[in-house]
A = this chain, B = another copy of it.
Amino acid sequence: MNIKEISQTVIGRLPRYYRYLGELQKSGIERISSGALSKKMNVTASQIRQDLNNFGGFGQQGYGYNVAYLRSEIGKILGLDTEHNMIVMGAGNLGQALAKYSSFERSSFFVRGIFDNDPKHQGRTVRGIPVMMMDELEGFLSNNQIDIAALTIPKEAVSEVVERLVKNGVKAFLNFALVDLELPKDVIVENVHMSDSLMRLSYNMIQRKEN
């Protein structure tokens, strides 16, 4: 399957397909037409067909999509058929929220450790996940295959922490800090900038009032 040329916009829609198909599966629905799926997801049927054709189709003309099969194929494309081990940098409210967030595990993302430099967190666990101190980081990384680090630390601390993580093999970041990471080419990042989301909301509020 050649999926090298798929745009990030299409990729961005796949998690939503995956989520909807999971809900259909839970409701016992085995087969769905692109028309019915489009109604449920509030996108056009032709958009759905186009998106899924990027990956070779999956549907049979007139028969609709096999829900379980389509979901599992999209899961494979998204890499959800293998476990991903994560650590969370920062044991504050956001870090704890991430460690407790059960939706991650349903998609094969497992938080294996939380790191902080505040001794008040030492020895704590969050939902069974240990909070460790920063001087334990390198040791932990050499004993555990960690794919992803979520960054919930203050932006002033980010560049030093990221350098230590990259040096010890972490190649992917979920970045909540309000700073753009400077990273080697083989390291990837997804930013979750909540203030940016609020600003887009605010912009769209003005447009709504003006129209």
Contacts and interface: CB of A to CB of B under 8 A. Distances in A.
Given A98-B194, A107-B199, A200-B11, A205 B19 contact: no
Nearest to A199: B15
Interface SS majority for chain A = helix
A80 to B, nearest CB: 7
A49 interface: no
Contacts of A200: 8, 11-12, 15, 190
A78 interface: yes
A211 B2 CA distance: 12
Interface in A176-211: 178, 180, 186, 188-190, 192-208, 210-211
Contacts of A42: 180
A36 interface: no
Contact of A174 (B172, B178, B194, B210): B194
A34 interface: no
Given A14-B203, A174-B201, A186-B208, 14 more contacts: A8-B200, A11-B203, A12-B200, A15-B196, A78-B202, A84-B202, A101-B195, A104-B195, A107-B195, A107-B198, A147-B205, A171-B205, A171-B208, A188-B208
30 contacts: A4-B210, A4-B211, A8-B200, A11-B203, A11-B204, A15-B199, A19-B178, A79-B205, A80-B199, A84-B202, A93-B93, A93-B96, A93-B97, A93-B100, A94-B97, A98-B194, A101-B195, A103-B194, A107-B195, A107-B198, A109-B202, A148-B198, A148-B201, A172-B201, A173-B201, A174-B198, A188-B204, A190-B200, A190-B201, A192-B197
